């Protein structure tokens, strides 16, 4: 048992989700006094009363707020109002309830989507307020960015210990492969895999392929989050990423190669690229957390493809049962 964790009651919202499962695996190994993973059917955090009841019922010393409503560009375009409301209200309700009940520490997971559309890479934490986010995911990004302001205001007025982390795009085994809501890596893996199975000579991908992204393997992100829980108590946000960018076209070619797809890739420039570039400055994480990402992109993609191949039939069957 780790003495640092032995007396802590830890509540992880979103603990049953993609990132949440990775974080909870790390926390379980540390053997806290209690690890609480609330489910939405029990506590809908968009409702003030449910957030209050969660904190009152579970009495956590530490809250790690991972719960979010998320999706790729398509989902953000279809549901901008819901993405703003749900992510804003979950954070506001939970932070206020934690403050009222004397929670010792609150770790809020933000998003790279909060950065301005034309932020010069590498994105530094000080650049967060230098412009408006990219339009297709702005409602989600603005909602998450506002929670940083709330935590800093609560620190100033109430001495509430809130920490804010900004992970870049995540990927890895267990990701969301639903074509309606998935992000770029699982979407491309599924698309190339299905094209290979059909013997398709061409795959059409959204955008021009020229936009760049940075990707963080989910287990590396979980390590950074738990590290922040242990050692970081300040109010300034911290980026979590690799510090390396890749164009979407390069990413697609890499995934096609891993899957053995030999057809052509055509880019549909009538569809949005999203933010032009994404690359984080990760120097603060190295200095303040003594943390850095360890999984190279190609190795992480190989693991993710292996997981997809092992679970493809189950995921397809579940989608068919939902009518998707």
Cα angle 191, 194, 195; round to 5: 80
> In this structure, what token pair is assigned to residue 157?
């007025």
Task: Tell me the angle at which helices 80-100 and 138-158 cross, rounded to the nearest 10 degrees.
Answer: 10
Whether residue 136 contacts residue 209, with contact meaning beta carbons closer than 8 Å, is answered with: no
Which one of 140, 164, 171, 261 is the catalytic residue? 140
The CA distance from 167 to 179, in Å, is 23
Going across the sheet that includes 62-65, the strands are 34-36, 9-13, 62-65, 105-109, 162-167, 238-240
- Known catalytic residue: 140? yes
21: how many CB neighbours lie within 10 A of its CB? 18
> In this structure, what token pair is assigned to residue 100?
């009222």
Task: Tell me the angle at which helices 218-231 and 18-30 cross, rounded to the nearest 10 degrees.
Answer: 50
Read off the DSSP letter of residue 132: P
Kind plus residue range of the DSSP H or E element containing 240: strand 238-240
Cα 246 to its chain centre, rounded Å, is: 18
Cα angle 248, 253, 256; round to 5: 125
Residue 35, preceding peptide bond in cis (omega within 30° of 0):
no
Closest to 27 measured CA to CA, from 54, 2, 45? 2
- What residues have CB less than 8 Å from 59, skipping those under 6 apart? 9, 101
**Residues labelled as active-site residues:** 140
């Amino acid at each position: 048992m780790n003495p640092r964790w032995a007396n802590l009651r830890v509540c992880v919202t979103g603990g049953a989700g993609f990132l949440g499962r990775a974080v909870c695996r790390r926390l379980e190994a540390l053997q806290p006094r209690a690890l609480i993973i609330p489910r939405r059917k029990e506590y809908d955090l968009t409702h003030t009363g449910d957030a209050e009841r969660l904190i009152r019922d579970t009495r956590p010393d530490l809250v790690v707020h991972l719960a979010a409503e998320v999706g790729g560009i398509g989902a953000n375009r279809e549901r901008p109002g819901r993405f703003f409301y749900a992510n804003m209200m979950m954070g506001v309700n939970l932070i206020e309830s934690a403050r009222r009940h004397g929670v010792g520490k609150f770790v809020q997971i933000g998003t790279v989507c909060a950065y301005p559309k034309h932020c010069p890479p590498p994105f530094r934490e000080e650049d967060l307020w230098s412009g408006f986010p990219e339009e297709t995911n702005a409602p989600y990004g603005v909602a998450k960015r506002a929670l940083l302001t709330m935590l800093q205001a609560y620190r100033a007025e109430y001495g509430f210990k809130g920490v804010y982390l900004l992970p870049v795009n995540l990927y890895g085994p267990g990701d969301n492969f639903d074509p309606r809501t998935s992000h770029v890596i699982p979407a491309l893996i599924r698309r190339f895999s299905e094209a290979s199975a059909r013997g398709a000579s061409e795959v059409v991908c959204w955008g021009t392929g020229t936009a760049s992204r940075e990707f963080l393997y989910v287990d590396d992100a979980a390590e950074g989050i738990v590290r922040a829980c242990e050692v970081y108590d300040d109010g300034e946000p911290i980026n979590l990423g690799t510090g390396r960018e890749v164009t979407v076209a390069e990413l697609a070619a890499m995934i096609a190669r891993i899957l053995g797809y030999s057809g052509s890739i055509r880019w549909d420039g009538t569809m949005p690229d999203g933010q032009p570039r994404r690359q984080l400055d990760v120097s603060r994480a190295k200095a303040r957390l003594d943390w850095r990402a360890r999984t190279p992109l190609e190795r992480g993609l190989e693991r993710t493809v292996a997981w997809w191949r092992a679970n493809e039939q189950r995921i397809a069957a579940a989608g068919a049962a939902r009518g998707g």
